[in-house]
Amino acid sequence: MLNQILARPNMIQALKRVEANKGSQGVDMMSVQTLRQHTSKIGNPLKRKF
């Protein structure tokens, strides 16, 4: 199940939904713009870890 969650198409879809909703910052205080950069940087290492 974790592989399905971390699958690239699923992650992109989730990111696009957050961007479309102009998602507000969470507890990490990360903006939507920063989130896109962050996910592209950590996506593969995160998937390999799990």
Model confidence over 2-44: pLDDT tens digits?
778 778 888 888 888 888 877 776 777 878 778 777 777 776 6
Contacts of 22 (CB under 8 A, 6+ apart): 32
> Can you give the pLDDT at residue 1?
79
Residue listed under structure tokens 């507000």: 24
Residue range(s) defining the domain that contains residue 45: 2-49
> Can you give the pLDDT at residue 35?
77
Backbone angles phi, psi at 26, to 5 degrees: -95, -160
How many whole angstroms separate alpha carbon 41 and alpha carbon 37?
Answer: 6
Number of domains composing the chain? 1
pLDDT confidence bin for 46, thresholds 50/70/90: low
Contact 12, 2 (CB under 8 A): no
